[in-house]
Structure 1
Amino acid sequence: MALHFELVTPERLLRSDEVYMVVVPGTEGDFGVLEGHAPFMSTIRDGALSIYASANAQPETIAIEGGFAEVSATGLTVLAERAG
Protein backbone atom coordinates (compact mmCIF):
# COMPACT_ATOMS: atom_id res chain seq x y z
CA MET A 1 0.00 0.00 0.00
CA ALA A 2 1.15 3.55 -0.66
CA LEU A 3 0.46 7.01 0.67
CA HIS A 4 -0.90 9.55 -1.82
CA PHE A 5 1.20 12.73 -1.38
CA GLU A 6 0.76 16.18 -2.88
CA LEU A 7 3.00 19.23 -2.48
CA VAL A 8 1.31 22.49 -3.46
CA THR A 9 2.48 26.12 -3.48
CA PRO A 10 0.38 29.20 -4.29
CA GLU A 11 1.81 29.06 -7.83
CA ARG A 12 1.25 25.40 -8.71
CA LEU A 13 1.09 21.72 -7.86
CA LEU A 14 4.74 20.67 -7.49
CA ARG A 15 4.29 16.99 -6.81
CA SER A 16 1.62 14.32 -6.80
CA ASP A 17 2.96 10.83 -6.07
CA GLU A 18 2.35 7.53 -4.36
CA VAL A 19 5.09 7.20 -1.71
CA TYR A 20 5.93 5.07 1.31
CA MET A 21 6.32 7.84 3.92
CA VAL A 22 6.75 11.61 4.27
CA VAL A 23 8.35 13.36 7.26
CA VAL A 24 6.99 16.90 7.69
CA PRO A 25 8.59 19.70 9.76
CA GLY A 26 5.58 20.61 11.91
CA THR A 27 5.62 23.63 14.23
CA GLU A 28 5.24 21.27 17.21
CA GLY A 29 7.96 18.94 15.88
CA ASP A 30 8.61 16.67 12.92
CA PHE A 31 6.00 14.02 12.17
CA GLY A 32 5.97 11.07 9.81
CA VAL A 33 2.94 10.08 7.76
CA LEU A 34 2.33 6.57 6.43
CA GLU A 35 -0.69 5.12 4.60
CA GLY A 36 -3.64 4.88 7.01
CA HIS A 37 -2.48 7.70 9.33
CA ALA A 38 -5.19 9.28 11.49
CA PRO A 39 -6.59 12.49 9.95
CA PHE A 40 -5.31 15.81 11.30
CA MET A 41 -4.00 19.23 10.29
CA SER A 42 -0.81 20.99 11.36
CA THR A 43 1.02 24.19 10.61
CA ILE A 44 4.53 23.66 9.30
CA ARG A 45 7.76 25.50 9.95
CA ASP A 46 10.61 26.24 7.55
CA GLY A 47 12.62 23.07 7.07
CA ALA A 48 13.14 19.98 4.97
CA LEU A 49 10.35 17.70 3.81
CA SER A 50 11.69 14.12 3.58
CA ILE A 51 10.02 11.85 1.04
CA TYR A 52 10.63 8.08 1.15
CA ALA A 53 9.70 6.27 -2.07
CA SER A 54 9.93 2.86 -0.34
CA ALA A 55 10.62 1.44 3.13
CA ASN A 56 14.38 1.09 2.62
CA ALA A 57 14.95 4.06 0.32
CA GLN A 58 17.09 7.08 1.06
CA PRO A 59 14.86 10.13 1.47
CA GLU A 60 14.51 12.83 -1.13
CA THR A 61 14.47 16.19 0.65
CA ILE A 62 12.72 19.37 -0.46
CA ALA A 63 13.16 22.67 1.37
CA ILE A 64 9.83 24.24 2.32
CA GLU A 65 8.82 27.48 4.00
CA GLY A 66 5.67 27.84 6.11
CA GLY A 67 2.20 26.59 5.39
CA PHE A 68 -0.07 23.73 6.43
CA ALA A 69 -0.17 19.95 6.21
CA GLU A 70 -3.42 17.99 6.03
CA VAL A 71 -3.67 14.26 6.54
CA SER A 72 -6.99 12.82 5.37
CA ALA A 73 -8.45 9.53 4.22
CA THR A 74 -7.14 10.32 0.72
CA GLY A 75 -3.53 10.97 1.81
CA LEU A 76 -1.22 13.87 2.74
CA THR A 77 -1.37 17.35 1.24
CA VAL A 78 1.32 19.89 2.09
CA LEU A 79 0.36 23.49 1.26
CA ALA A 80 3.68 25.33 1.45
CA GLU A 81 4.25 29.07 1.06
CA ARG A 82 7.45 28.21 -0.83
CA ALA A 83 9.14 24.99 -1.87
CA GLY A 84 12.29 24.29 -3.77
Structure 2
Amino acid sequence: MAGKLQFSLVSPERELFSGEVDQVDAPGSEGDFGVLPGHAPFMTALREGQLRLYRSGQVTTFEVRGGFADVTPAGLTVLAESAVEV
Protein backbone atom coordinates (compact mmCIF):
# COMPACT_ATOMS: atom_id res chain seq x y z
CA MET A 1 0.00 0.00 0.00
CA ALA A 2 1.45 3.33 -1.04
CA GLY A 3 0.76 6.66 0.54
CA LYS A 4 -0.93 7.82 3.70
CA LEU A 5 -4.46 8.94 4.52
CA GLN A 6 -4.96 12.44 5.93
CA PHE A 7 -7.33 12.02 8.90
CA SER A 8 -9.01 14.48 11.26
CA LEU A 9 -11.22 13.63 14.26
CA VAL A 10 -13.16 16.57 15.66
CA SER A 11 -15.66 16.80 18.52
CA PRO A 12 -17.61 19.91 19.60
CA GLU A 13 -15.02 20.55 22.32
CA ARG A 14 -11.79 20.20 20.30
CA GLU A 15 -9.82 18.49 17.57
CA LEU A 16 -8.73 15.12 18.96
CA PHE A 17 -6.47 14.04 16.12
CA SER A 18 -5.12 15.41 12.87
CA GLY A 19 -2.42 13.74 10.82
CA GLU A 20 -1.44 11.02 8.41
CA VAL A 21 -2.50 7.43 9.11
CA ASP A 22 -2.40 4.10 7.30
CA GLN A 23 -6.05 3.13 7.88
CA VAL A 24 -9.15 4.12 9.86
CA ASP A 25 -11.97 1.75 10.91
CA ALA A 26 -15.20 3.43 12.03
CA PRO A 27 -18.72 2.48 13.21
CA GLY A 28 -21.03 3.55 10.39
CA SER A 29 -24.79 3.74 10.81
CA GLU A 30 -25.14 0.86 8.34
CA GLY A 31 -22.17 -1.14 9.60
CA ASP A 32 -18.47 -0.79 10.34
CA PHE A 33 -16.26 0.42 7.50
CA GLY A 34 -12.56 0.91 6.82
CA VAL A 35 -10.85 3.69 4.88
CA LEU A 36 -7.45 3.39 3.23
CA PRO A 37 -5.53 5.93 1.11
CA GLY A 38 -7.24 6.40 -2.27
CA HIS A 39 -10.70 5.33 -1.02
CA ALA A 40 -13.70 6.38 -3.10
CA PRO A 41 -15.48 9.49 -1.77
CA PHE A 42 -18.58 9.02 0.39
CA MET A 43 -20.35 10.43 3.44
CA THR A 44 -22.14 8.51 6.18
CA ALA A 45 -23.63 8.93 9.63
CA LEU A 46 -21.89 7.29 12.56
CA ARG A 47 -23.36 5.23 15.38
CA GLU A 48 -21.94 4.65 18.84
CA GLY A 49 -18.85 2.47 18.81
CA GLN A 50 -15.08 2.34 18.50
CA LEU A 51 -13.08 4.20 15.90
CA ARG A 52 -9.59 2.80 15.35
CA LEU A 53 -6.76 4.52 13.57
CA TYR A 54 -3.67 2.65 12.45
CA ARG A 55 -0.31 4.38 12.01
CA SER A 56 3.27 3.16 12.13
CA GLY A 57 2.23 -0.24 13.47
CA GLN A 58 0.26 1.24 16.37
CA VAL A 59 -3.50 1.32 16.94
CA THR A 60 -5.24 4.22 18.69
CA THR A 61 -8.86 3.70 19.73
CA PHE A 62 -11.54 6.32 20.35
CA GLU A 63 -15.07 5.77 21.65
CA VAL A 64 -17.41 7.84 19.46
CA ARG A 65 -21.09 8.62 19.82
CA GLY A 66 -22.82 9.77 16.67
CA GLY A 67 -21.69 12.24 14.06
CA PHE A 68 -20.61 12.03 10.44
CA ALA A 69 -17.69 10.73 8.39
CA ASP A 70 -16.71 12.40 5.12
CA VAL A 71 -14.24 10.74 2.75
CA THR A 72 -12.89 13.02 0.01
CA PRO A 73 -9.85 12.86 -2.28
CA ALA A 74 -8.09 14.98 0.39
CA GLY A 75 -8.71 12.42 3.16
CA LEU A 76 -11.17 11.49 5.92
CA THR A 77 -12.81 13.88 8.36
CA VAL A 78 -14.92 12.60 11.27
CA LEU A 79 -17.19 15.09 13.04
CA ALA A 80 -18.26 13.23 16.17
CA GLU A 81 -20.99 14.32 18.58
CA SER A 82 -18.75 12.91 21.32
CA ALA A 83 -15.31 11.28 21.19
CA VAL A 84 -12.94 10.07 23.92
CA GLU A 85 -9.65 8.22 23.53
CA VAL A 86 -9.87 4.76 25.09
TM class, shorter-length: over 0.9
- Which aligned segments of 4 or more residues in structure 1 are displaced greater than 3 angstroms? none
Task: Work out the CA distance in 2 between the residues paired with 1:5 and 1:48.
Answer: 16
Q: Deviations over 1:1-54 (max 9, x none)?
A: 100000011122111010000001001000000010000000000000011104
Counterpart of 1:10, as a letter, is P
Q: 1:16 aligns with which of 15, 18, 21?
A: 18
Counterpart of 2:42, as a letter, is F
Task: Work out the CA distance in 2 between the residues paired with 1:64 and 1:82.
Answer: 6
Gaps of 5+ in 1: none
Structure 2 length normalisation: TM-score?
Answer: 0.91
Alignment partner of 1:59: what SS? Answer: strand
Counterpart of 1:53, as a letter, is R
Task: Work out the CA distance in 2 between the residues paired with 1:45 and 1:2.
Answer: 25
The answer as to 2:27 corresponding to 1:31 is no
Aligned-residue CA RMSD in angstroms?
Answer: 0.9
* 1:1-84 equivalent positions in 2, closer than 5 A: 1-54=3-56, 57-84=57-84
Gaps of 5+ in 2: none
Counterpart of 2:14, as a letter, is R
Structure 1 length normalisation: TM-score?
Answer: 0.93
Task: Work out the CA distance in 1 between the residues paired with 2:15 and 2:54.
Answer: 19
